[in-house]
Amino acid sequence: MTDITRRRLLGGIAATSLWSGLGFPLVRADETLKVGVIHMGAISNTGWEYYQAEAWRALQAKYPNKVEVTVLENVTDIQSVERQFRQLAIQGHKLLFGTTFSQYASLKKLAPQLPQAHFECCAGIEAGKNLGVFEARHYEGTYLTGIAAGRMSKSNVLGWVGAFPVPQVIYSLNAFLLGARSVNPDVELKVVWVNAWVDPAKERDAVSALVSQGADVISGSPNTPVQSEAARAEGVWSIGSTGDFSEYVGETQLASFELDWSPAHIEATQAVMEGNWEPTGRWRGLGEGGFIRMSTRSPALPASVAEELDAAQAAIVAGDLKPFAGPIKDQSGELKVAEGEELSDSEINSMTWLVEGVQGRVPS
């Protein structure tokens, strides 16, 4: 790594700003594009980091000779996130991907300072200067899996292992119950918060706690098979929410959906290569170019339920079925969404209330 004197740095920044500001691509056509990705955790074969990795692997597959990806894992310290992204940018990486919300604050600070690269942050909140964001409409997936859960539950109690009481999780579990109630109005949902994205021991205990209180379908935000396996050990169903664990638990996993970030990676890369990258916010669910795809269903699911799921999925993709269309009441019975209306994107994204039928609180 060469020593960058201040004058050269400023000169470089001015030049690249002018260059990219005029619409010229940061990468010449014959050059390979260096892309950098930083993972907070370690990449395994399931879970959040796995799907992030699948996205850059898709990039490598699509542009084998034109794109070079540098990947860093296990960058857990928030303090070092800024340093590592900056290092990547200075080392010639023109497109940088953040993979988690906890990197968002650092990227927001960093992106405007480094115009020689473009930044994208998965699970970031809103696009900013030199920073695009993208997130998945998890609720579309959880709504559909909720239908399966509502049909198959015998105790009419569902369980949710809550990672953090953030809107992404809250709207997911709300949609789960709404989907279940669309076919079974008597079903309820109990939620416990483990306050961690990954804590296998606590997740296991959470499943035990939920099952002891009557839940016979377990869902959550699993990053490892531990929740599904715990559910199987307790003799109840599980849902693969943002992960497919059927290879571990067989038919006890009723339904699942997976994440697919490759459209975001590929579109951003394409834009950088063509010189027309703009910071955008992408929030997509099911369908073509979306970030969610429904996955394995249990063979134990009756054909009628499978058909229901297919129909509902098609309706969501077509825009006819909206998971958060009214009437929807919250836990206190107050009408949050009137008949004929639906929640806007920003209302969904800032959701901190639980729908009627959810037992548990949002810790405040």
Q: Which range of residues in 133-141, 180-188, 190-198, 251-259 is near other proteins by CB under 8 A?
A: 190-198
344 interacts with other proteins by CB under 8 A:
no
Residue ranges in 210-229 that form contacts with other proteins under rule CB under 8 A: 210-213, 223-226, 229
Sheet containing 95-98: give its strands across. 67-72, 33-38, 95-98, 118-122, 131-136, 281-284
Told to check if 331 binds other proteins by CB under 8 A, we report no
Is 205 a binding residue for other proteins by CB under 8 A? The answer is yes
Asked if 88 touches other proteins (CB under 8 A), the answer is yes
Please report whether residue 9 would count as binding other proteins according to CB under 8 A: yes
Residue 78 within binding range of other proteins, rule CB under 8 A: yes
CA 304 to chain centre: 29
Quick one: which of 82, 267, 341, 342 contacts other proteins (CB under 8 A)?
A: 82
Q: Is 164 in the site for other proteins (CB under 8 A)?
A: yes
Find the binder of other proteins among 86, 293, 322, 329 (CB under 8 A). Answer: 86
> Which of residues 6 and 154 has its CB atom nearest to other proteins in the complex?
6
From the list 11, 83, 185, 289, which residue makes contact with other proteins (rule: CB under 8 A)? 83
Cβ proximity of 148 and 113 under 8 Å:
no
Q: Give DSSP secondary structure letters for 12-49.
A: HHHHHHHHHHTT--SS-TTSPEEEEEE-SS---SSSHH
Quick check: 176 and 149 in contact, CB under 8 A?
Answer: yes
Residues numbered 120-139 forming contacts with other proteins, rule: CB under 8 A: 125
Estimate to the nearest angstrom the gap between the alpha carbon of 55 and the chain centroid. 12
Q: Taking the CB of residue 13, how many other CB atoms lie within 10 A of it?
A: 14
How large is the C-alpha radius of gyration of the chain?
A: 22
For 187-207, letters b (16+ CB in 10 Å) and e give bbbbbbbbeebbbbeebbebb
Q: Determine if 79 is a binding residue for other proteins (CB under 8 A).
A: yes
Nearer to other proteins, 77 or 307 (CB): 77
Could you say which residues in the range 26-45 bind other proteins, by CB under 8 A? 41-45
